[in-house]
Structure 1
């Protein structure tokens, strides 16, 4: 069987990593790349470098990776859908809900595989957490709290921290718990002099009753990517920078000190850091998309799921602007969404 012919549009900071993975992916030939600004990181490797998506489409692609600025996602994505090219678009799916809806519809109507590059789903720590939650190792899930902070990335100019970084936490929280967001209450801050927010704090409620908390900013010299999942049997702490998953079990020992025993809470138990395989998340993401294009069983973030994430992100922004809690209604396929 011939290798799939893949293209890549967008050769910036993320594009260079996509190029590296696509160039070495089994069953795939990266045949050409495109970027209106050329190839600043020199990742083309002798392949044709085009300026437009139309020139890239002319290479007779089976599928394409889109890593351009968010504001260009709809225009480029629709062009690929109309050309019959299966496509994965970097997160977020689009800059707003109407654009995301049009993209999801374009690929659905064309019968094409459309996916969104929410890479955190493929982090080994979160993959392990998801599997262990499904196996019941934590029991009922009470709370998911995430912290995602670090220095300001000057390359991001068209969206704020909610749609750029916060969408990671929205997607991974819904996926790891298998629950959708039903309401959010958020506060934002504008400290860097830009038109978009650079700090957000969100409290959310999920469909299964789980409470969520998300702290995201571009204002910290400390880089953090932590997810804490608390349940009836203990807590999982996933550090996606190191891909480590640690389990903090509830203690089983009875307290003999009466003042402590009167408090009917949990106590400290065993702590286990799991030894897990740590494949590169970006490679796993591309392997799954390749398999989906081939019609094989695969775990991708669909455009419908990406659309739902954009809706929740916009609800967070609306909440911050209005100072009120915003409901996130189930719409159509979202009502029964299972984000596996």
Structure 2
């Protein structure tokens, strides 16, 4: 992922990519003309204003705290940290020094989901009843330090809270491990949001079918977002009367019109970097804050605990959730 960040930063207006730090990378892995250094200290010596942390999750706290102590703003890849304690430590370090920190929950910058969020904010769906996500595909060999909950399900946890402006109150889950690694590679979990809506999430690394789908169902129909293609559809509740007696007795909803929206499809990673650049420059920018990302880590911890203990886990009511709107 670091290579993708470097690619975007190398061409980003208003930003100069002055160095890439990696203790083990081949020098040729950096963009042409950009030096490769081996440590945060060498990176800081280049006189940088901000850095992107795209290393294994287990190292996020160490690298982020080093940057904070040097007075360097940071965009940290998701998940923010491997535990709530670690995430809170990172958040405090940047906040106490007045530094800008953002977290790379890139789905917030997917054009289909941004369009969906805008339409939900306008009340086009009415009350939200349910959010369903499916995120599955082949195993990514680059991931070694976490399982599918921290690497992939954190996308769905964050986007669900962000889309609905709500927080997870409880979760239950099942996981399995079939790839021979110590971490889970499939999870199915359901949740209840503070708004009263329910959620359902299927996430795995065990499918040859790559799928990234978000379905939000409400009183007026449902939105379906495909974040692989950045397409968005609306399936409206039907209002046409039917002469079929058996169906007429059903008191639910009926199939209505289907609309596919024309969405401007900009690269999510580019939009994420433009937003963080603006935040560093002191402009108003809707970045994902460490406090919001800590809430996501708390839900991920609860999902794993629910699967291990085979029970419903209530999220700590003493935690004050960060605003997601």
Q: TM-score range by the shorter chain?
A: over 0.9
CA contact (8 A) 2:170 2:315 kept: yes
Q: Which of 179, 197, 213 in structure 1 is aligned with 2:166? A: 179
Runs of 4+ displaced beyond 6 Å: none
Residue in 2 that maps onto 1:115: 102
Distance 1:89 1:133, change over 3 A: same
SS at structure 2 position matched to 1:186: strand
Unaligned segments of structure 2, at least 5 residues: none
Unmatched 5+ stretches in structure 1: 1-13
- Residue 233 of structure 2 corresponds to 246
**Paired residue for 1:223?**
210
Q: TM-score, normalised by structure 1?
A: 0.94
Q: Once the two structures are superposed, what CA deviation does each residue of 1:8-64 show, in whole Å capped at 9, x if it has no partner?
A: xxxxxx111101110111111111111011246623322221101111111111111
Aligned to 2:117, the other structure's residue is in SS state: helix
- Tell me by how many angstroms 1:331 deviates: 4.2
Measured after TM superposition, the shift of residue 332 of structure 1 is 4.7
CA distance in 2, matches of 1:305, 1:67: 19
Q: Deviations over 1:237-261 (max 9, x none)?
A: 0000000000000001012222211
Structure 2 distance, partners of 1:332, 1:320, is: 22
Q: In structure 2, the residue corresponding to 1:28 is in which secondary structure?
A: coil
Partners of 1:32 and 1:44 within 8 A in 2: no
1:1-340 equivalent positions in 2, closer than 5 A: 14-39=1-26, 42-334=29-321, 337-340=322-325
For the aligned residue pairs, the C-alpha RMSD in angstroms reads: 1.0
Distance 2:173 2:244 in 1: 41
Question: What is the TM-score normalised by the length of structure 2?
Answer: 0.98
**CA deviation vs aligned residue, 1:104-146 (integer Å, no higher than 9, x gap):** 1111111111111000110000000000001000000000000
Larger deviation: 179-188 or 249-258?
249-258
Deviates more, 1:235-244 or 1:95-104: 95-104
Equivalent-residue separation in structure 1 for 2:165 and 2:318 (angstroms): 17
User: Residue by residue, what CA displacement relative to the aligned partner does 1:257-302 show, whole Å, maximum 9, x if unpaired?
Assistant: 2221110010000001100101100000000000011111111100
Q: Which moved more, 1:240-249 or 1:47-56?
A: 47-56
Aligned length: 325
